[in-house]
Amino acid sequence: MLSFFRFIARHTAYLLFLLYCGISLLLMQLQRKETIDAIRTKGLAVNASIAEQISYFNDLVNLREDNEHLLLQNAKLFSRVMSQETALRDARSLNAIAAKDAAPNGRFLVARIVDRRFSPTDNVLVINSGSNQGIVKDMAVLTPDGLVGRVTTVSGNYARVMPVINKDFKVSVVSDSTSTLGVLSWKDGNVDMAHLENVPASSRIKVGERLTTSDHSTFALRGIPVGRVAKISKGKLFSDIDVRLAVDFSSLSYVLVARAMPSGEKLDIMNGDEGGKVQEQQRK
């Protein structure tokens, strides 16, 4: 008996090896049995859940790249939609050919908002594109949802944007179906709402009408969505109109900057500087 135990003690490694090999071979034979199958199923569930977490992490790592790719694609599609909508509007008003030159050329720069100062009366955005990327002062900043603001200051790689929800911001807008013109501005601290000014009380503008930038704008091309009429209060001469803005400023992270701007000649005339350049051109 003692010699038996001595034998076992001396050859434990071999016995263990045989035991483990036996168990392994048994497990291989019982692969299809219910108990082993249940263990395998549980193992695969653990495997799948961990693999899903790993793939989720990989997705997170690639999210920024995917997001930028989607934004570029979105910008292209948005420019197409905008040109088509503008052309449609032009066709309706029998002015398509004349307006073609002013139609958006569909070229946008994608920029990320890197800083934002927000207070009830002041709101400024900083984007990560500047003069090196082709940004100049007074370019319109937008998202596929609508107008965000205008570029006010440009450095090499950054630009400051005055958003619609800034007390100094104004833009000329036109309503969709009744073609009512007005000037949109922001007065109070509500980030969803703006006011439409200079609309005569006799206007036929209705609640729910969509407002887009008009030809009268000094920085934005026409056709950029701005918001919808939310409430109309008729006064003696002018209506007091509340507008629900199209862009959700609380969740902005990327914006598009429209490279195309209204022609300088038009701006000169609008500003009353028709003397110099226009006359010179007529002479030519």
8 contributes a contact to other proteins by CB under 8 A: no
Nearer to other proteins, 36 or 252 (CB): 36
Kindly state the smallest distance separating residue 63's Cβ from other proteins, in Å.
21
Distance, in Å, from the CA atom of 275 to the CA atom of 187, rounded to the nearest integer, reads 36
Kindly state the smallest distance separating residue 46's Cβ from other proteins, in Å.
7
136 contributes a contact to other proteins by CB under 8 A: no
Distance, in Å, from the CA atom of 177 to the CA atom of 167, rounded to the nearest integer, reads 28
Nearer to other proteins, 24 or 84 (CB): 24
Residues 168-187 contacting other proteins, CB under 8 A: none
Nearer to other proteins, 2 or 28 (CB): 28
The correct pick among 16, 38, 70, 81 for binding other proteins (CB under 8 A) is 16
By CB under 8 A, the count of residues binding other proteins is 26
Nearer to other proteins, 21 or 207 (CB): 21
Strands 122-127 and 108-119: antiparallel
What string of DSSP letters covers the chain? -HHHHHHHHHTHHHHHHHHHHHHHHHHHHTTTSHHHHHHHHHHHHHHHHHHHHHHHHHHHHHHHHHHHHHHHHHHHHHHHHHHHHHHHHHHHTT-HHHHGGGS----EEEEEEEEEEEETTEEEEEES--GGGT--TT-EEEETTEEEEEEEEE-SS-EEEEESSSTT-EEEEEETTT--EEEEE--SS-TTEEEEES-BTT----TT-EEEE-TT-SSSPTT-EEEEEEEEEE-SSBEEEEEEESS-GGG--EEEEE-----HHHHHHHTT--THHHHHHHH-
The correct pick among 6, 8, 10, 17 for binding other proteins (CB under 8 A) is 17
Residues 22-61 contacting other proteins, CB under 8 A: 23-31, 36, 39-40, 42-44, 46-47, 50-51, 54
Kindly state the smallest distance separating residue 27's Cβ from other proteins, in Å.
4
**Contact (Cβ atoms closer than 8 angstroms) between residue 142 and residue 258:** yes
Nearer to other proteins, 21 or 81 (CB): 21
Nearer to other proteins, 36 or 193 (CB): 36
Kindly state the smallest distance separating residue 28's Cβ from other proteins, in Å.
3
Nearer to other proteins, 23 or 88 (CB): 23
Residues 198-227 contacting other proteins, CB under 8 A: none
21 contributes a contact to other proteins by CB under 8 A: yes
> Given the rule CB under 8 A, which residues bind other proteins?
12-13, 16-17, 20-21, 23-31, 36, 39-40, 42-44, 46-47, 50-51, 54
